[in-house]
Structure 1
């Protein structure tokens, strides 16, 4: 990823951080939908430089900044994020597109969406159908199942689906990667992909 653009969220007394994140991610989602390919993938990635999982009495936190990455500068220009964030301009600081300085890269990481594990009965039925297991075998597999502690530590952004008109949590997982590897630099319409290494700086 050769180019990036930073957006810093500036909450106020009337607009809180959680509400602002919801609006920013919705606008980013709509912008990425506009430039997605036929496979519903976009060429722009999202990273969260101040991301923190919950630990030692500190709550999970997405941070106050989103960093957009692209291999080509033209992809960020085509995204034209200023246009999409126009109504939020009083609450955001959007920097211009910059080139990644390799000397400042401290490592690599990826960000992906995590879905909440479903209820046990649903997962039992899926295992029965997908793996051709009996009800007893599938039930035994999920014996003692609990929502993982890992999932509970992850930060999320409260979103609203424009299609189904219902709220959902966009849960975000960060993974530290050893190095950047050659791969297809494509992302979902939130700019997330667990397999693509993004520079950390």
Structure 2
């Protein structure tokens, strides 16, 4: 992974950063699924409580250039600024950027258990107490599922820094629990 490209969200008085990142990331997800074959990863170099305003694409210069030939940014071009494809600087660390799925709402867990036929409504109320809800403080992107149409939060964990890279493939979200991206 010797190359990267930064896509920065431009300030907009009508749309917040989180909404713009969600729109950009949705388009990226569709395009990665169609054109990237697992060879492009992502990171969020300005992430804190939110993913921030920069989406960084990682890959080979050839993979990034080929990916940029597709008009995947159509509709968000007025809200972003893209850097050139650049070489990754030397002497750096690496980290994984992965998805974390949180079973957050006890109410949601109860509804799902009843819908799937695992429990009756009474059993669900008894076996899944309200205090079973989990909170997640990781940054997330609010997305709409392409397959089901339901809205969900894609929680993102940027793993611990490592001294050496781990090769592999990325999901259609550009994420991986094992494959690392350069961190700088």
TM-score norm. by structure 2 comes to 0.80
Shift, 1:64, TM fit: 0.7
**In the alignment, structure 1 residue 6 sits paired with structure 2 residue 6:** yes
Pairing partner for 1:78 from 57, 60, 66: 66
Pairing partner for 1:45 from 37, 41, 46: 41
**2:58 aligns to what?**
69
Q: How far, CA to CA, are the matches of 2:69 and 2:13 in structure 1?
A: 25
Partner SS state of residue 56, structure 2: strand
Q: How far, CA to CA, are the matches of 2:132 and 2:141 in structure 1?
A: 23
Aligned pair count reads 168
Shift, 1:82, TM fit: 7.1
TM-score norm. by structure 1 comes to 0.74
- Unaligned 5+ runs, structure 1: 53-59, 124-138
**1:23 aligns to what?**
23
Partner SS state of residue 148, structure 2: coil
**2:95 aligns to what?**
109
- Unaligned 5+ runs, structure 2: 114-126
Partner SS state of residue 76, structure 2: helix
Shift, 1:79, TM fit: 1.2
Pairing partner for 1:198 from 155, 162, 181: 181
Q: What's the CA shift string for 1:50-81, capped at 9, x where partnerless?
A: 111xxxxxxx11111011001x2111112117
